[in-house]
Amino acid sequence: NAGVMQNPRHLVRRRGQEARLRCSPMKGHSHVYWYRQLPEEGLKFMVYLQKENIIDESGMPKERFSAEFPKEGPSILRIQQVVRGDSAAYFCASSPPPEGNIQYFGAGTRLSVL
Amino acid sequence: EDQVTQSPEALRLQEGESSSLNCSYTVSGLRGLFWYRQDPGKGPEFLFTLYSAGEEKEKERLKATLTKKESFLHITAPKPEDSATYLCAAETGNNRLAFGKGNQVVVIP
């Protein structure tokens, strides 16, 4: 059973470009979470999604960031018009239903903005 | 605001020298307390979940305990392969995990 798959592992963008980060949850998991880890900081919750629904986006910046988890395919975290401050490691986690289960993490995508 | 604080930030241990890591939390409505291990360049790897004060869980040289305000991760007779950053997280509403900054542990042979 493959774990949570994230790609790409490393992503370099210039200021103003768009970044798309993908996450395929573990088989049988229908809940997906995105977290951001800034240098010298702990992981910060961004958004919690179930298939075709955003359950909690209270940690998501109000502008430029969006997330989706379509009926088919991976979850996508999209950052428009990236700025240097967006440079971080972005981790995806998944858990099986019902709520309250263990979240299993992917290896992360390291975004560098030049 | 939910807060999770881990101490010490960094710890160097001789192989075989037991120690404890502390995680104190201030959250409204704790649903669970999680410990993860993170190696450089990798994602967090699940270790334990604790749900109620007094609960303890063990895995190899690691033992996690929980009180009403804090959790401890005890490392007994550590080996170099136990070197990692240990992350504590409190589950709050809507499955959100609030993480501490981690305890960076280095075990010297």
Do residue B97 and residue A91 have CB atoms under 8 angstroms apart? no
Residue of A nearest to B92 (CA): A100
pLDDT of the residue at A33: 96
Task: Give tens-digit pLDDT for B78-92.
Answer: 999 999 999 999 998
Locate B50 and state its tokens.
Answer: 């604790």
pLDDT at residue A100 is higher than 70? no
Do residue A42 and residue B36 have CB atoms under 8 angstroms apart? no
Residue of B nearest to A104 (CA): B46
Question: Strand, coil or helix: what is A86?
Answer: helix
pLDDT at residue B2 is higher than 90? no
Asked if B96 and A104 touch (Cβ cutoff 8 Å), the reply is no
pLDDT at residue A109 is higher than 90? yes
Chain-centre distance for alpha carbon B53: 15
CA nearest to A92, candidates A9, A1, A17, A28? A9
**Mean per-residue pLDDT, A69-98:** 94
Do residue A43 and residue B32 have CB atoms under 8 angstroms apart? no
Chain A residues in contact with B89 (beta carbon < 8 A): 43
Please tell me whether the peptide bond between A61 and the residue prior to it is cis, using omega within 30 degrees of 0. Answer: no
Residue of B nearest to A95 (CA): B95
pLDDT of the residue at A73: 93
pLDDT at residue B30 is higher than 90? no
User: What is the distance between the alpha carbons of residues A64 and A34, in angstroms, rounded to a whole number?
Assistant: 15
pLDDT of the residue at B29: 81
Q: Which residues contact A38 (CB under 8 A, 6 or more apart)?
A: A44, A88
pLDDT of the residue at A1: 55
Nearest to B43 among A55, A56, A108 (CB): A108
Asked if B57 and B1 touch (Cβ cutoff 8 Å), the reply is no
User: What is the distance between the alpha carbons of residues A47 and A109, in angstroms, rounded to a whole number?
Assistant: 16
Nearest to A48 among B44, B46, B94 (CB): B94
pLDDT of the residue at A41: 86
Residue of A nearest to B5 (CA): A42
pLDDT of the residue at B28: 82
Do residue B44 and residue A91 have CB atoms under 8 angstroms apart? yes
Asked if B67 and A3 touch (Cβ cutoff 8 Å), the reply is no
Chain B residues in contact with A106 (beta carbon < 8 A): 43
Do residue A43 and residue B87 have CB atoms under 8 angstroms apart? yes
**Mean per-residue pLDDT, B19-45:** 93
**Mean per-residue pLDDT, A67-82:** 96
pLDDT of the residue at A12: 98
Chain A residues in contact with B87 (beta carbon < 8 A): 42-43
pLDDT at residue A55 is higher than 80? yes
Phi-psi region of B95 (alpha: psi -120 to 50; beta: other; left: phi over 0): left
- Using an 8 Å CB-CB cutoff, list residues of chain B that contact chain A: 4, 31-32, 34, 36, 41-46, 49, 87, 89, 91, 94-102
Burial A42-80, CB ≥16 within 10 A → b, else e: bbebbbbbeeeeebbbebbeeeebebbbeeeebbbbebe
